[in-house]
Amino acid sequence: MRVVITGAGTGIGRATALRFAREGAHVLAVGRRLEPLAALGRGIEPLAADVTTDVDAIARAAGPVDVLVNNAATALGQPLGRITAEAAHAQVAVNLLAPLLLTQAVDLRKGGTVINVSTSTGGRGWPGRSVYAATKAGLESLTRSLALELAPRHVRVNAVAPGAIATPIADHLPPDELAALRAWQVARTPLGRIGTPEEVAEVIAHLAAAPFTTGVVLPVDGGAAVGA
């Protein structure tokens, strides 16, 4: 099995790369920084590439693909009034356009599957992170449309929608803001804790192995989607 995972050097992408490699898959691990990718180990081929500019190079390196995991993302907190066009474009390019263009460019085998990584706020509003939330809402819409377009080729397209997961994605925040974000996330998670990257990787692997499931967005969020 050949698997391509973007944003594979850290967090959910890293856990997913290790999960598939453990099953004996050949994993092409894509990210901008080579170092964390090169440290992933056996069965995992690192590729330093930017999903916004290197789509054709990634598709060429991938060859025929069984599983494409569109996981790379940029999350910038910017309240209305402080949103710059540059930051908004950057999030749209990484979180929405790259998954679309990669899905189009990659040679997906018959029986193959695409799994997009959304967020539990993809179907709701997120004050202060409106652009990020909008890109994920778009990614969920894309998941449904591409599932229909690719079904005749026997390629499935699904998404996972993680809730609060312990990864480096919010590491750029000052410690007090990060602590406030974590407290807010735990408070709105019925299971009362932050999830792990491995718990998301497990669901991605299950979706990859679910031959009659396409066009769904599956929450992995400790119940947040059905809570408040």
Ligand X SMILES: NC(=O)c1ccc[n+]([C@@H]2O[C@H](COP(=O)([O-])OP(=O)(O)OC[C@H]3O[C@@H](n4cnc5c(N)ncnc54)[C@H](OP(=O)(O)O)[C@@H]3O)[C@@H](O)[C@H]2O)c1
Helices marked H in 46-152: 55-62, 85-92, 98-105, 130-150
C-alpha to C-alpha distance for 53 and 203, rounded to whole angstroms? 29
- Cross-strand partners of 219: 161
Residue 132 known to be catalytic = yes
CB 77 within 8 A of CB 128: yes
C-alpha to C-alpha distance for 62 and 175, rounded to whole angstroms? 39
Q: Which stretch binds ligand X (CB under 6 A): 48-56, 123-131, 147-155, 201-209?
A: 48-56
Which are the contacts of 7, defined by CB distance < 8 A and separation ≥ 6? 13, 30, 31, 51, 71, 72, 73
Q: Which of residues 71-110 bind ligand X (CB under 6 A)?
A: 71-75, 94
Q: Considering only residues 2, 5, 13, 155, which one is a binding residue for ligand X as defined by CB under 6 A? A: 13
Q: Considering only residues 165, 203, 204, 208, which one is a binding residue for ligand X as defined by CB under 6 A? A: 165
Q: Considering only residues 168, 177, 179, 193, which one is a binding residue for ligand X as defined by CB under 6 A? A: 168
Q: Considering only residues 3, 5, 7, 18, which one is a binding residue for ligand X as defined by CB under 6 A? A: 7
- The nearer residue to ligand X, 169 or 186, going by C-beta atoms, is 169
Identified catalytic residue from 5, 18, 99, 132: 132
C-alpha to C-alpha distance for 91 and 125, rounded to whole angstroms? 16
Q: Which residues bind ligand X (CB under 6 A)?
A: 6-7, 9-13, 30-33, 50-52, 71-75, 94, 117, 119, 162, 164-165, 167-169
Task: Show which residues are catalytic.
Answer: 132
